[in-house]
């Protein structure tokens, strides 16, 4: 199949590279000329394990190439996937669909034969109808079918997630679109991946319901963690106990500083807004959005408490800035709000992150970055682990002890058992457990 990806970010580039690896011919388009120039030169603009190798292999085989415009490249396409961003609209929290609509107009002008236009971006219910209308208005002779195919990959594990999905969801109102998508995903369905075909609107809503449910699990265990601290229980054991129940499942039950990232915050908000618009409010989702927003400043207060109740003039070391490990993505990372709150209280921040420092520098130019955890911790009153990179799972606490001003460790991901840290003279504060 000939496939064009519009948008070559985390989802567009990973999906494009994986489609190419499945044997399709893929052109990744992005209006960011710098990104395309880098990709043509063999440089990957994002950090995602295995992606550089996958792109290189398929570029050498002639199965993936990169363009800045759809003009000329869409003519042979069997399917064009829209994988542009759908961030929160600053004014009201709805999903900003301007990039999707612009892509639909570009596609309308570029298609030359029957083409399936597939929305892979996370979009509110009814966006497929809008995309279809925009294409028809822009080019009444365009022969297209518009489908939905939400993406469930996780940054940091994006390639295995794409290649071994729990399920592939396609939303189609057109038999031709269904057969093209079935052919595209055949290598995966032949290998056992379940293909779930449903209506376009149902597919669009499935993606939001999925993310909202996962965000709800995280928020639930975070609130239970707070209660654990009050009653002297340990949230890790509670999570183990309930996670063993098949009906609940163990994943997404790690208490921490609240969910962040490019998806959960904007998708929970957008779903709540959509539900209000349809006069069918999702109170659970509205509540978890508010709880999660508050949680980040609550984590800053935990750090301030660990510093003795006042951080004015003190140095706090932050280990891990990205919203989760194995990505360089800083979008809505909990570290951003936590650090802001610490600075508001007068702290100086030193930090280290294995992959996120380049992006973090642009967002938080006031931070003093160290080349490793130990340099970052020099003179720190509190060392706070915010993102659980593997590199932070075996810290040399004796070395850390020799550089910090005070042996206080705040472990917002419950990576360490208290005795592992306390035997080096550190006091540890975790989430949802006794110090
Ligand atoms: N990041 C994830 O883990 C993830 C997972 C599942 C779904 N999603 C969804 O996928 C979508 C894309 O997310 P992302 O993280 O890949 O975003 P991203 O910001 O990394 O990439 C989007 C890309 O689209 C490009 N673009 C925008 N308008 C364009 C146009 N008209 N023509 C060509 N290129 C254009 C941008 O330059 C950018 O490179 C979002 O809707 C997101 O919610 C993301």
Atom of ligand 1 nearest to the CA of 45: 39
Nearest to 100 by CA among 34, 64, 146, 33: 146
- pTM score, whole prediction: 0.96
Among 5, 8, 12, residue to substitute to test ligand 1 (most atoms within 8 Å of Cβ): 12
Tokens 């929305």: give the residue.
Answer: 119
Among 6, 9, 45, 95, residue to substitute to test ligand 1 (most atoms within 8 Å of Cβ): 9
pLDDT digits (tens, 9 = 90+) for 367-385: 999 999 999 999 999 999 9
Q: Which residues of the chain have a pLDDT value below 50?
A: none
Give catalytic residue positions: 263
Distance CA 302, CA 149 (A): 41
Give residues with Cβ within 8 angstroms of 305, minimum separation 6: 429
Atom of ligand 1 nearest to the CA of 123: 41
Please give the pLDDT value at position 434.
79
Residue owning the nearest CA to atom 15 of ligand 1: 10
Nearest to 367 by CA among 412, 240, 38, 375: 375
Nearest to 66 by CA among 22, 20, 106: 20
Torsions phi, psi for 41 (to 5 deg): -85, 5
Please give the pLDDT value at position 40.
97
Q: Residue 11 Cα, ligand 1 centroid: separation in angstroms? A: 6
Please give the pLDDT value at position 435.
64
Ligand 1 binding site (Cβ under 6 Å of any ligand atom): 6-12, 29-32, 35, 83-86, 99, 102-103, 106, 121-122, 151, 153, 155, 262-263
Q: Residue 96 Cα, ligand 1 centroid: separation in angstroms? A: 12
**Ordered DSSP codes for 62-100:** TSEEEES--TTTSTT-SEEEE----PBPTTTSSB--HHH
Q: Residue 406 Cα, ligand 1 centroid: separation in angstroms? A: 43
Q: Measured in whole angstroms, how far is the alpha carbon of residue 217 from the centre of its chain? A: 16
Q: Residue 227 Cα, ligand 1 centroid: separation in angstroms? A: 38
Q: Residue 150 Cα, ligand 1 centroid: separation in angstroms? A: 12
Residue owning the nearest CA to atom 7 of ligand 1: 151
Q: Residue 8 Cα, ligand 1 centroid: separation in angstroms? A: 7
CB–CB of 6/81 below 8 Å?
A: yes
Tokens 């440089």: give the residue.
Answer: 43
Among 85, 121, 204, 270, residue to substitute to test ligand 1 (most atoms within 8 Å of Cβ): 85
């Amino acid at each position: 199949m000939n496939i064009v990806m519009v948008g070559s970010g985390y989802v567009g580039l990973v999906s494009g590279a994986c489609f190419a690896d499945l044997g399709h011919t893929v052109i990744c388009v992005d209006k960011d000329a710098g990104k395309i120039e880098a990709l043509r030169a063999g440089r990957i603009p994002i950090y995602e394990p295995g992606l550089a190798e996958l792109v290189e292999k398929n570029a050498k085989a002639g199965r993936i190439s990169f363009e800045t415009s759809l003009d000329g490249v869409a003519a042979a396409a069997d399917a064009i996937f829209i994988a542009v961003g759908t961030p929160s609209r600053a004014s009201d929290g709805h999903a900003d669909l301007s990039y999707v609509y612009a892509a639909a107009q570009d596609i309308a002008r570029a298609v030359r034969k029957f083409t399936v236009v597939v929305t892979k971006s996370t979009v509110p219910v009814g966006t497929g109808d809008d995309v279809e209308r925009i294409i028809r208005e822009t080019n009444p002779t365009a022969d297209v079918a518009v489908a939905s195919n939400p993406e469930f990959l996780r940054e940091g594990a994006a390639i295995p997630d794409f290649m071994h999905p729990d399920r592939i969801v396609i939303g189609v109102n057109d038999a031709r679109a269904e057969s093209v998508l079935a052919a595209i995903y055949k290598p995966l369905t032949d290998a056992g991946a379940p293909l779930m075909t449903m209506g376009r609107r149902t597919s669009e809503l499935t993606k939001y319901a999925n993310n909202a449910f996962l965000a709800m699990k995280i928020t639930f265990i975070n609130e239970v963690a707070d209660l654990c601290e009050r009653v002297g229980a340990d949230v890790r054991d509670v999570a183990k106990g309930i996670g063993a129940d098949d009906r609940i499942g163990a994943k997404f039950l790690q208490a921490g500083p609240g969910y962040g990232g490019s998806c959960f915050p904007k998708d929970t908000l957008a779903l709540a807004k959509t539900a209000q618009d349809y006069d069918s409010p999702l109170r659970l989702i509205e509540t978890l959005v508010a709880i999660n927003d508050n949680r980040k400043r609550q984590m800053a207060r935990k750090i301030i408490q660990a510093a003795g109740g006042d951080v004015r003039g003190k140095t706090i070391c932050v280990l891990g800035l990205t919203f989760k490990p194995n990505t360089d993505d800083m979008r809505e990372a909990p570290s951003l709000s936590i650090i802001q709150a610490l600075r508001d209280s007068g702290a100086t921040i030193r930090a280290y992150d294995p992959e996120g420092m380049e992006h973090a520098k642009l967002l938080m130019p006031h931070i003093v970055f160290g080349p490793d955890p130990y340099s970052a911790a020099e003179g720190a009153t509190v060392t706070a682990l915010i993102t659980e990179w593997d590199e932070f799972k075996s810290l040399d606490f004796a070395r850390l002890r020799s550089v910090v001003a005070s042996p206080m460790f705040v472990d917002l991901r419950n990576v360490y058992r208290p005795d592992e840290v306390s035997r080096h003279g550190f006091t540890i504060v975790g989430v949802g457990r006794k110090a």
